[in-house]
Amino acid sequence: MGEIGIGLVGYKFMGRAHSNGYRQVSHFFDVDPKPRMVAIAGRNEAAVSHAAEQLGWEGYETDYRRLIERKDIGLIDVSTPGDSHYDVVMAAIAAGKHVLCEKPLANSLEQARVMMTAAQVAGVVNMINFNYRRVPAVVLARKLIEEGRIGEIRHFRAVYLQDWILDPSFPLVWRLKKELAGSGALGDIAAHIVDLSRYLLGDEIVSVTGSLSTFIKQRPVEVTSGGGAGLEATSGTEYGEVTVDDSAHFLAKFAGGATGTFEVTRLAPGRRNHNQFEINGSKGTIVFDLERLNELEVYFVDDPGDVQGFRKILVTDGPHPYVGAWWPGGHIIGWEHTFAHVIRDLLEGIRTGVNPAPSFADGYRCQAVLDAVERSSASGAWETPVSV
């Protein structure tokens, strides 16, 4: 196949992480087609032209529709705030482009359903960037579960804790506005642990009960924006309403009978990006912590009594996926490598015509759980995620 032109929409935090993935992937993996970084799009010409230069794009556009019209682009990557996902993705699908979209898929369940259906009908390869599925240690966790090494799964327990808006003077960035972000910690980081639970257990959440909380209800209106991650900015003196959740806590029941416990917050002092899960089975336990992403902790009931205890596996040696493409055992990888892994599998899906997971259907299933949590927070009752 040779090469495929990439058009990236968005040049801030996720745009930088995705750009790094496109730059790296063909230097470490044998990919066909190879990605050609044709153009990056953003509305601010000064900013996007600088980003094109700094991030390694051949050119730039100030209107995503021109990017989508280009005949030298076959894949559109959507790395913008959630309120634009629907319009950009639907335009890309209509133009017959393959699509990689950042999570959460959309700002509403209905939009997510329409996007999923459109991609399936059009037959374009579609992926959502739940990149933590491509941490080698997480892949190992799923392998152990699939092989029955920890027996019947009874409990999935996960937290995703951050502290980037702990300071009340942190301004009202786009992630704190419902009309732009759709929700707060729920859609931003609970989306990740909900997706991980589906991926690891190979099971669906059939019922949830939970609550959303907002502790800092007013914030200074943003004067200027920093790297645009929405994780740093400067603020003025005028105040505005925070219209999303700072935290979400919910219980879940899986179809197979396992229980789920989920907690996310952006107000946990000292927790920079603490995504941790623990899975208890009838024969063992698995523990993963993103801030130590090269390691997986396991406990097997059947270990001989004199060596009973948690083992810490350094998941950097050859038999594990992806790692062999980078460095020898013990030469650890980082958060940014997971984006190259996603892109490697996306390019393989384009070559084979087999849509890689997580697809928009996975994005929809995740969105349905988030929607049920929001309904439960309002009703105070257990709620069922909508099926397609």
Which of 20, 84, 225, 273 lies at the binding interface for ligand SOE (CB under 6 A)? 273
Nearer to ligand SOE, 13 or 382 (CB): 13
- SS3 (DSSP) at 212: strand
Residue 159 is a binding residue for ligand SOE (CB under 6 A): no
- Dist. CA 45–CA 65, nearest whole Å: 15
What residues are paired with 222 via a beta bridge?
Answer: 235
Sites for ligand SOE among residues 2-41 (CB under 6 A): 13
Supply the minimum distance, in Å, between the C-beta of residue 149 and ligand SOE. Answer: 28
Query: Do residues 252 and 193 make contact, with C-beta atoms less than 8 angstroms apart?
Result: no
Which of 189, 190, 244, 333 lies at the binding interface for ligand SOE (CB under 6 A)? 189
Supply the minimum distance, in Å, between the C-beta of residue 372 and ligand SOE. Answer: 21
Residue number of the CB atom closest to ligand SOE: 188
Nearer to ligand SOE, 162 or 316 (CB): 162
Applying CB under 6 A, the site for ligand SOE has a residue count of 5
Supply the minimum distance, in Å, between the C-beta of residue 23 and ligand SOE. Answer: 19
Supply the minimum distance, in Å, between the C-beta of residue 13 and ligand SOE. Answer: 6
End-to-end CA distance of the chain: 35
User: What ranges make up the beta strands (E) of 197-309?
Assistant: 205-213, 218-225, 233-241, 247-254, 259-265, 274-281, 284-289, 295-300
Nearer to ligand SOE, 338 or 355 (CB): 338
Residue 276 is a binding residue for ligand SOE (CB under 6 A): no
Name the residue among 48, 40, 49, 113 with its Cα closest to residue 77: 40
- Dist. CA 4–CA 169, nearest whole Å: 44
- SS3 (DSSP) at 170: coil
Binding-site ranges for ligand SOE (CB under 6 A)? 13, 162, 188-189, 273
